[in-house]
A and B are shown apart, each in its own frame.
Chain A
Amino acid sequence: MKYLVTDDSKLARLTLLKSLKVHVGDAEIFQAENGAIAVDIVKNEKPDIVFLDLTMPVMDGYEALDKMMEINKNLKVVVVSADIQEKARERVINSGAQLHVQKPINADKMLEILEII
């Protein structure tokens, strides 16, 4: 399995990576600091699961999600954001995300996510 962690904050990426590595060990994990880079990685590296922040420079998570779904409509995307408003949730789920969860994600929460998707 290949994973992609997308967040403009290095701290947020490292927090998520730490939780993810507890469960997936040495799996291949890519990182992106904005939506545009993430879309390129989805296109070129074909990850199986994407963790995607919403508020990012260059290209935000909403636009990136739409572009990712155009590339691979079966891609599993978990939106990870501090913004868990209903409208945000509806929008990302309607765009094809599997889950919309609140930051931060500890190892226990990560296990739940991986089991769900």
Chain B
Amino acid sequence: MNPITLTEDEKDVLQELMNVAYGNATAVVAEMLDAFATLSIPNIKVMETSALLEEFQSLKGSSYFFSTQAFVGEFSGESAFFIDNESAQNLSTHLELESEDDLDDAILELTNVLTSSLTTRLAQEMDTEVRFSLPSISKVPLGEIANNQTFKEYSQVIVIDTQLIFEDQKINGEIFILTKDGSIEWLKNRLNIILEALM
């Protein structure tokens, strides 16, 4: 399979769509946690999965809570949410959680709300619909991330990467939206339809 690339115009349109989607997600998550949140401007790139895994190695800290949630439709893929141990403990303190199970539950719900609100809005902007699976969670040492089944299902991915930051609570998470190979072509088509409508 030849590598697919996004043109600057396509990236620009996707960036704009994501800005709208992230604005929506930020508001929803901030309300959910009753805290002021910011999401960094999403960084968009097409890359080989192996390169993505190398990028994960650059995340700070040694161990992460790692949760994923798949979405299917014309635009299919998976979101991957990382939150380091220290941030997870700060989240637990902020929410006054009583056990590790409660913390897992909170991270899963955060993943669900982030993924759904982001992807729902992005799908709306692209005039399509998606369905969501249940999120799942694991606590992963960095060295084992490459073995995760999630990443074995992708050869090439569009990575939409942003940081979720609750500054006062010292909570940082990083979310990646991974799209499957077939969806990258679909996405390129859709972005060009949007572009043409703007011309």
Contact = CB atoms under 8 A, between A and B. Distances in A.
Contacts of B120: 82-85
Contacts of A12: 109
A10 B105 contact: yes
Contact of B129 (A8, A55, A86): A86
Contacts of A85: 120, 123-124, 129-130
A83 B116 contact: yes
Nearest to B107: A11
A9 B112 contact: yes
Contacts of A82: 28, 112-113, 115-117, 120
B193 interface: no
B142 to A, nearest CB: 27
Main secondary structure, interface of A, reads loop
A9 B109 contact: yes
Interface residues of A, number: 20
A11 B31 contact: no
Interface of A: 8-12, 15, 55-57, 81-87, 102-104, 106
Nearest to A15: B32
B72 interface: no
B116 A81 contact: yes
B134 A103 contact: no
A114 B92 CA distance: 31
B108 interface: yes
Contacts of B102: 10-11
B166 interface: no
Contacts of A15: 32
A57 B134 contact: yes
A103 B105 contact: no
Interface string B129-143: 110111000000000
